[in-house]
Amino acid sequence: MATNASYASPLADAANAHLMHNSIASGILARLLSNVNGWSVALTLFLSLVAYDQIMYVWKKGSIQGPAMKMPFIGPFLQSVNPKFEEYYAKWMSGPLSCVSVFHKFVVIASTRDMARKVFNSPSFVKPCVVDAAYKLLRPNNWVFLDGKAHVDYRKGLNGLFTRQALEIYLPEQEDVYNRYFAKFINISQEDNKGKPEPFMNHFRELQCAIACRTFVGQYMPDEAMKKVSHDYYLITAALELVNFPIILPFTKTWYGKKAADMVIDEFAKCAAKSKVRIAAGGKVHCILDAWVKSMVESEEYRQKIAKGIEVEKPSMLVRNFSDFEIAMTLLTFLFASQDATSSACTWLFQIMADRPELLDKVRAENLAARNGDRNVPFSMDLLEKLEFTRAVVKETLRYRPPVIMVPYVAKKAFPITETYTAPKGSMVIPTTYPALHDPVAYPNPEYFDPERWVTGDAELQVKNWLVFGTGPHYCLGQTYATMNLMAMIGKASMHMNWEHQITPLSEEIKVFATLFPKDDCLLAFSKRD
């Protein structure tokens, strides 16, 4: 008994109590760690990121319309790869402000006229951003990404390229393109297809690319290069869709688009070098590139004379000297701004006129009367400005099927769009044009195509709703050029061709490919008009 009584467990000794505590803790920790492996760590991290993604989305969404929750990380990416007009329309109708979140981009959509105008007219809060891929395709130092005074100054140097006097100079090149392509359209329909209609959307895209290239760089670009630019530009459009995979990976849309953009820039740079040589030798201006290069030459001569103390009249457009590459980047943005928009308007114009022959007859009669019955009288600004009904048809087409339905901006800082909602810094903010152009208050019966609203109605007074070319400091430089070009095109076509449209169930359905097109790609057959 004494021996047993003298024995004590070490753990019963107060001096050894810490040993018991450490032993228990070590046991618990060992059991916990025994259940930890790489998969459980990865799962925990993944769930934490999912929770963070959802919390940030809900916080940014605030009180505006949008899904209550988002698919982790990618959001509606798969749905946006093949965008549907009906889904866009439902989003616009859901409220003045709505949102989605795709990958790392939180997007605020401004749908009403007043919300859209507020975004357009808030340069202190937002700047144009297009999409992620645009910086890589158009280059990050492109002028369209400039902001504030730098943008204003650059833009001033380009304004002179789109004056009435300048636009008159470009008309002969444009008419030559129409002559050649209208003959081609007739040949496709009568010789290749034996009068059977075929989809003409892609033919119209090539036509408008040819018009743009001849207007921008004249004959400096060979026909073969122009056709390649026209063909490959489709890849640039696909790469610049609103939603694309954010990283350029081989054989993706953005990869093909980057290769095409590099090719176009290279071709435009070659044109710039040729123009500089020709204008320096005293050549006349035939295109936008010539006009710009001439302004550089005149500006440099002015600076040199001022430096020598010689008094001389200041040029109307004082600009610095631009490198061939800088010129090429700017010309690419002109093509970016015009190609898809005019292709869309061109397609709808031909379809709408074929489906409404009474309106086409009025356009034809007006154009013949303006030429005193001689359809071969060439374009001139005086002649185009007489065409009141033709202008009304073009403006109604641009209202009825606006080529540009959304213009992406990025919030430079927290943007209080309303008293109750502030768009977070870095979010994409997108003003929408379609609802304003289909507002029944401004344009009664907006789904009805009615050119007369521009002649005898008050459509011209609805300047706040006319957002076809945007508004504010980044409004479209070429809006007069675009309108006159479309007027010249449909007027000339009406006098020299007949065309028939094969109506299908998809003819009035809208396809979204950067801009709006008929879902059946506009099935037409052309014939020569004697």
Q: Which residues are annotated as a binding site for heme?
A: 476
Residue from 297, 292, 238 nearest 268 by CA: 292
Q: Which stretches of 382-461 are assigned E, i.e. beta strand?
A: 409-411, 415-416, 422-423, 428-431
CA distance 11 to 16: 6
Q: Are 157 and 477 in contact (CB under 8 A)?
A: no
Q: How many CB atoms lie within 10 A of CB 133?
A: 25
Q: Are 454 and 399 in contact (CB under 8 A)?
A: no
Joined tokens for residue 284:
């006349």
CA distance 271 to 54: 50
CA distance 424 to 331: 33
Q: How many CB atoms lie within 10 A of CB 353?
A: 21
- Phi and psi for 102 in degrees, rounded to 5? -120, 125
Burial readout 151-169 (b: 16 or more C-beta within 10 A, e: otherwise): beebbebbebbbeeebbeb
Joined tokens for residue 58:
């809900």
Joined tokens for residue 65:
């319309």
Q: Are 101 and 79 in contact (CB under 8 A)?
A: no
CA distance 125 to 127: 7
Binding-site residues, please? 476
Q: How many CB atoms lie within 10 A of CB 238?
A: 18
Residue from 143, 148, 120 nearest 322 by CA: 143
CA distance 294 to 303: 14
Location of structure tokens 């060439």: 378
Q: Please give the single-letter amino acid code of residue 366.
A: E
> SS3 of 500, please?
strand
CA distance 354 to 166: 32
What is the β-pairing status of strands 428-431 and 105-110?
A: parallel
CA distance 328 to 142: 10
Report, in angstroms and rounded to the nearest whole number, the Rg of the chain calculated over CA atoms.
Answer: 31
